[in-house]
Amino acid sequence: MADDLNSMYHVRGQVKWFDPAKGFGFVVADEGGPDILLHVNVLRNFGQSSVADGARIEVVTHRTERGVQAVEVISITPPERESTPVLTDFAEMDPEVLQAAPLEPARVKWFDKGKGFGFANVFGRPEDVFLHIEVLRQSGLADLQPGEALAIRVIDGKRGRMAAEVQAWEAANQKSET
């Protein structure tokens, strides 16, 4: 990255940390250099209100007198998934069956990061769908806001209907258009 103020740069890196409550976090560029500020408004323009620590991210940045800031998110890839199932509810399920479940449009009813869970509703269906924090993390998200649009893979688990995968609505739409 050159030292020109206000010049735009395309950068790939990894989310160092992101705190939705504070409204910002930082990205570490693959090529090194100073940490890149990632503001929640830039993330929201991409269609997400949070991003998981360790997620791969591609951003457009510019350098200001106060440091390097992301001005646009191009893509986000969730952190590497562990080979073991994230929840015991999925332990006995065939991973191909989980992936075969369709992505369904949904909205967050409520989510409590401190408790580690919440609920969403699939459009056109009255029942709640359980959302677990570990499923969010493996999907590249760290938190959800009420009313946030999602695309979710829903399974019938031991505790009822639950999300096996969660994607930000805009990210799921971009994948389906390619």
28-58: pLDDT as tens digits:
999 999 999 999 999 989 888 889 888 899 9
pLDDT in tens, 103-161: 999 999 999 988 999 999 999 898 899 999 888 888 888 889 899 899 999 988 777 89
In angstroms, the CA 45 to CA 134 distance is 24
Average pLDDT over every residue of 63-90: 78
Q: Are residues 130 and 153 both part of a single domain? A: yes
Question: Which of 77, 105, 121 is the last residue in one of the domains?
Answer: 77
The verdict on residue 70 lying in a domain is yes
CATH of the domain at 26: 2.40.50.140
Question: Structurally, how many domains does the chain consist of?
Answer: 2
pLDDT value at residue 91: 63
Q: Are residues 70 and 102 both part of a single domain? A: no
The verdict on residue 142 lying in a domain is yes
Question: Which of 35, 58, 77 is the last residue in one of the domains?
Answer: 77
The verdict on residue 2 lying in a domain is no
pLDDT value at residue 176: 54
Contacts of residue 137, defined as CB under 8 A and 6 or more positions apart, other chains included, come to 52, 79, 86
Environment class of 140 (CB within 10 Å of its CB; exposed 0-12, middle 13-18, buried 19+): buried
The verdict on residue 16 lying in a domain is yes
Residues of the domain holding 163: 88-177
Q: Are residues 161 and 110 both part of a single domain? A: yes
Angle at Cα 116 formed by Cα 112 and Cα 119, nearest 5°? 60
